[in-house]
Structure 1
């Protein structure tokens, strides 16, 4: 057992030091996962939980993230205040939402790795949406305009016919819209209230519509790490909600999803998939963030269990019936990677091996002794079924792991109509474009 733990620690160390893992390996301990049933999780270690906060140093003019051979990385847009999420309209217009946490210095205080107190300061959010027009599809926008302003920590955006939807942290708004509009001029209407705020950036609310545009799905993260403030404060949270386009007939589509952010439709099976940012304070290797298909009316564990029927020691014995119902997610994405963005790749520009696979924006860790995440990862799919492993696709965000220095942190990912990929780097203030030569 001592030898096993030693080897596991060494493998974990190198998986954090070197982001260049091959496609057969998983960042969590570089362990090859051939089946979800063989994922061996360590025992919870509440006393051994560590923090290491990153220090953002920004991108120099000659620096950019690294993509595999044959790809080119360029700056689609820069000088932005916290670009988070993106969508593209049918006419090619690209919308980028600018928003960030607005927590005060006294709202959340943590200890960093050296034991010194560190306040997580948010600051004012830009609270706007920028519209970019790239008519030539060359990655160089001809124009940018403020499409919509004075929002409240927006994240999700959606176009349904002649309506433009925005998911603020406290509710869903809809505005009149027609293709080609450069600015929203009509008065918006709030069609759904949502529980606002949340633990450690769980303020983001994403949206996606089904194929026939008859239903809208909204992701709402938990308001706590593991329900420590009482489950009465988690009503309608840690869920994906389903509504009609007018905001009526709200249902809980799936629950027990601690912080689901990215959502996308599997292009082969038609299933809804999501990435989930899992819980903290159980040690370096718990709990894995994950990519999973979302089954209707299914329960995914939070806060009572994790990654299947592993009972959380902090909620031990509280709800055994729900623990037994907990579904095992499809793909482990490594613990504390803060996996947030998600899109399936359906275009022809990239090599065939990327077709129908999933790109995931991993914002990066803080509740771990060394940095993990800080990359765009790729999960291969075959006939609509996910591989049990993932590999780095866009890396180089970590400048100096020992010092905790990073150039930026990727969040949202978007496949554009020309087949390239856009990546929102919120703290770098840049939207990166990744094209294949």
Structure 2
């Protein structure tokens, strides 16, 4: 598997302290779900890890300042430039007479932090804004613990052109599972990747039954506690479509050999089927600290990073085929991934806009994927192929966001009118 971005058989040797002391880590998106759990892991393992820099969007400056002080980082970055004064004030309140860490602010702050001196960059940013930091970390020669799947999906050829074999360690629970299960054989012996899905809060419902679900319904995920965008993506199974594209890019396995199955308990995070009929599954109770520990500590495991199963208690593990009629997002993602070029960027950007429209009550639930599909169809076949540039991605995203907003407004208007007429 030497031509794969995420190769568990190889150890990429990144600069930064490792065997001679704690491994130096940079955490992007430190105030989000991945970031806060990574910090918990670091604080429980000070002999293994030290954090040199943090970045966050800027919505929780008090928490960011608390993290910076507790970890004694050298640099703190905030994407929202207008939050820099509040961050400085929050840091001053904690540091007192001690020197403050370096403060970076603005849309390029996370990118600057990502290329700083360290061993591993954990990219826990949500959304395609994580692409530039991903590219910066790879170009600087850092090991990239990648939780920001969008950066790989929208910038696949760009990432593949920069990443050395083994330089990326996936942090998504599904891809961390595949990463570990792939150790069971060579690439030539892999028949199929099986990506598991919880099914979200609407497992078992028909497309017609999904027409009237509300944002509150969709945000009630039965297994995972995540941010609103990722939670809605789990409800539509767009997240699973994105993970199929990600698996294809990480492991260089054709789309027709990547399968999705529904596993409500979320105990088995993914599986690898080998040519001799054997299937290796990676299983743990649902907890992101395990995948984060793989991303930060590989090739060594971090003891007690996450809870283990209690095998003295009975449990039932179920698996169901994916209902592609009710959840067409996975099939759409396969199509988009096959198109390549800017198509994945269009898919992802349009989805983010449609999720916002749904959460604000301006688009019905089924309208999310339907609208994304319409935007993808209008985009057509991308011409850039492997010659993709960052400006191509950004231009495609800008168009997709604008078009998705237009279509969502039109669909939302028709829905509101139909509802009003029905009530009358």
TM-score, normalization by structure 2: 0.26
Q: Which one has the bigger strand percentage?
A: 1
More helix by share: 2
